[in-house]
Structure 1
Amino acid sequence: MIINTNENTSIITQEKATIIELVKKIEALYPKFKNQNIIVHLTSIKSIVLEDIIEFLQISNQHRAKKHSFVIVTESFDSSKSPDEIVVVPSLQEAYDIIEMEDMERDLGF
């Protein structure tokens, strides 16, 4: 797991761990980036199924409840099949766009 931080966003890049191992690592290190937006970059995994995405549901809900964005980036999953509580996009640029839009909504009180 590689963690890069810029401004108010942490990008967590999955290297070799399984999804379950990655979620456990994120939960263990959560205090480190709990006050930032989080992007989980899963592009190294070639096949992602709905069950993999759902593994992030609890931490996504927890993070979003604290008024921060949580976005998963993967090209190998159809984001239309994702639960509404989890944001899944195919590129880092789209993840940044989502965070920007959500920041504006929070600023406006939504």
Structure 2
Amino acid sequence: MEISKTEKYTLIKPSENSVINFLENFKNKYANFTEEHLIIDFSDKINTKIEELLLFLDLSVRHKENGTSFVMICNGIDIDEIPEEISVAPTFNEAIDIIEMDAIERDLGF
């Protein structure tokens, strides 16, 4: 797993061969990221399936309850098939936009 941090977010790119292996490694290190806005970048992973993204539902909900953003970058996913509790963006720039919109919503009390 490749981790790069900025003042606004932490970007995590899986280096594992499968989403399930990444998820296990991520869960083991999750305590290090609870106060950070997270972007999980699956854009280099070919054929990430909706079922695999749904494995992150509990983490996404828990993370957002802490007042932080949790966004996954994934190409080729029909956003309409994803529950609204999971934020998915097709590009890095759109993931940044989601983090900024989340911040505005938090400031407005949503």
TMscore range, shorter length: over 0.9
Distance in 2 (CA, whole Å) between partners of 1:28 and 1:76 is 28
Tell me what 2:65 maps to.
Answer: 65
Tell me what 1:55 maps to.
Answer: 55
The ranges of structure 1 where at least 4 consecutive aligned residues each deviate by more than 3 angstroms after the TM superposition are none
- CA deviation digits over 1:66-94, x for unaligned, max 9? 11110010113222211111011100000
- CA deviation digits over 1:86-106, x for unaligned, max 9? 011100000000000100111
Pairwise CA RMSD: 1.1
Tell me what 1:90 maps to.
Answer: 90
**Is the CA contact (8 Å cut-off) linking 1:47 and 1:77 kept in structure 2?**
no
Secondary structure at the aligned position of 1:28 is classed as helix
Are the structure 2 counterparts of residues 8 and 31 from structure 1 closer, same or farther at C-alpha, using a change threshold of 3 Å? farther
Are the structure 2 counterparts of residues 27 and 16 from structure 1 closer, same or farther at C-alpha, using a change threshold of 3 Å? closer
Task: Trace 1:1-110 onto structure 2 (pairs within 5 A).
Answer: 1-110=1-110
What is the aligned residue count?
110
- CA deviation digits over 1:36-83, x for unaligned, max 9? 100000012110212111111111111011111100101132222111
TM-score normalised to structure 2 length? 0.93
Q: Which amino acid is the alignment partner of residue 59 of structure 2?
A: I
Any gaps of 5 or more consecutive residues in structure 1?
A: none
The share of aligned pairs that are identical, in percent, is 32
Any gaps of 5 or more consecutive residues in structure 2?
A: none
**Is the CA contact (8 Å cut-off) linking 1:2 and 1:12 kept in structure 2?**
yes
TM-score normalised to structure 1 length? 0.93
